[in-house]
Structure 1
């Protein structure tokens, strides 16, 4: 209720007492959403601090404020040297008015995300200066139109059949909830009138409580069962609200965002370790394809002309195994294919072990960061943490401005270009020559990069997943099967003067996949 008329009517006279006769000595901003006005009276300083970042619109009137040496700008400079006479609230409106000795009027319009600070000269009906120039309707706002007297008689209440929102639109959420809890909407007219008089009596009691609800600190003029604090001075109340809701609230928000980022990353890392460890164990416990190749090569004499299937004894296990040849396939060719698969399988095992080892190190680091962050109790500690882990913070911010989407799959990072121009930037400024480049064949679409990071072989599953993304982010998105070409990034070059995203490709191979997007992967596996 700190922006509510029923609170502002107590705040205005208190501000008159605090600022009457005070000379404005400075007016500046250190962020685009906050204005600070410095005043001096009898050698004592007091500040008017207006924070207008929606939805965090707050007022504060501290006696101390340290202006930064850099990143600060003077605003409303014609206020300098002027003297504040009085502060008043507009009738039934969320706005304060400061009358100055020069005849100028400074208006604080507290209309949620349309809040603003406006300066009027003399008898001018339109503001001479605005703090937030983007609010176009304020450029012609007549301050006199903010006066909105309301008739609170029984006759008007009866004519509105007790409609609380029409009778007193300044009530605000907390008083409306108070009425709702007492069955106001279902009550008869006389009962509604009695409840309305009761809430008005409560609002006429100058007692201000700070309460926390759903993680947010708010100000209430109504009796609260478990308030954080209760005040009789509105300036003290609004100052404490500013500190608890904005300063501490911002600290907790930043800390929680970091905690969430690390926690999400830890969950993904732990999930990868679980799945990859199971996969590694499965691969280790499965006989390599080379064993079957050895059996075939030892029994070539049994593959007589025209025989497509034979049953052989696996001398590694002592069991019988059926070997089937494709039409026109020689047993030697099948054995060669199995030896190649076995070699690739060993490479996959080595890659998987290396990645699991790296992920275990990352898991330990993330747990240490979460523990350290959990012990942070104030902004200073948070800033020190952010400074120590600035790479994490920078990477998160940089990810938002990268020219590509980033996906993680089985320990590999996959990039997907966001636009034709971004495709060029990704290839030119981020990809390395050993990375794998992919693109839907003969169709417009995003370039896709598989980051190799020193690895010599990309597992087939990773290759297929990246190809699915390349097909999904292309004109072949709706096809059942889509051809995707791939090669090392060093064989992809930009031709001077060619259109954005257009490249020349050498030594490409083609893989057929179904287009599957990032949100469809889980469903596709089921």
Structure 2
């Protein structure tokens, strides 16, 4: 919760009191993903603002006494220094913090894997702390120009007076799923949650059950409270120091427990399905009998029949379904093939059930072991036996290598990066009922709108926003309006001999849109 927008807004308000009008003497790094900004004052010669651009742990901390390393450091932005911090601000609805200085701005973007610190000079030239692709840098620059920055709570407090909870949810994208599931579902009003984040004391606590440090405005059950703090800076200092003091054993235990619980849940569902299948029994004899009965009555069979009534070996009449497209002989062979397949499938179901049951029992045993205090060696051995590292590596490699956006906080959109990437997106990643977009008559990226529920219609407004993305990532980017073709992925085909990135459409519709990244479209890391 410490990196939630509301808490970052609170941090900005505090930073103006702590470091506004301070002169920046030096900017350097001596730890991975951390930028150290020297801002000495009369009381503290070694005062620093430390910004962590670590994707997992982004934060801003003011330390009154920090000593620069004697070696293994690297200076940044020397040509712009010294300079004075005139104001600290944050985008009014996004996690972008801006430090306005005499001759430049420093932007701190909290963006998951794309978290970064970027200096922008007065000519709008960008100098990133962490390397970033030129194309992404242009997008970021455009974002900076569109943002409206604030340095107080006024805009939110004004909306709290006139908006109901529903309007607030629509207006502010910082009201994320975590806030909704952890607080709103427990009956706390949204307005109360927002004001508690902005003004209430911050509770920092240790939750040993999942080896984590909690940072939020409310007391947590079964967690050991480290402290209750009136300021964000005091709370974040306590959070960071305690986070790094978590033992490796606790972190590893939490990771293994999470993995084991997920696997047990997955295996339980499979075992229930297999058990139900086994209890039904094998239909091998039934299908073999149908094949023999059809063979005996082959003279009565004709192509085009969808069923036939015959007497079984006990003299009772039975109805056997037929495939009207098949010949009599093929229908007979079909039932003998089904009998053979049924036998194999039934035996495999029993075999798989026993195999999964052994895995399930093993994981239950591991789960019981985790209740004890295991040594690091024991935990690493369990991690190795379960193959957790390998599975995580495979998951990372399987992540789609496309630009990824979220439209209206709900719809996932993927954009190809080049011709080969377009083919991968369209031919291997996209599902049949996903929407597919491409700017008409010009080269550009393939764009896929993921449709998780085909029965739920996608609003036309969303289709237009995705079409705008497709136009933006095409040669029509600079046009006032551009036509964009869209259709379901199942109507997109690649004919033999087509070049990489080239496809044909069996049917299409066209939208005329402005090439842009819509405001309601956010980058996903």
TM-score, structure 1 as length reference: 0.43
Q: Tell which structure's C-alpha radius of gyration is larger.
A: 1
TM-score, structure 2 as length reference: 0.43
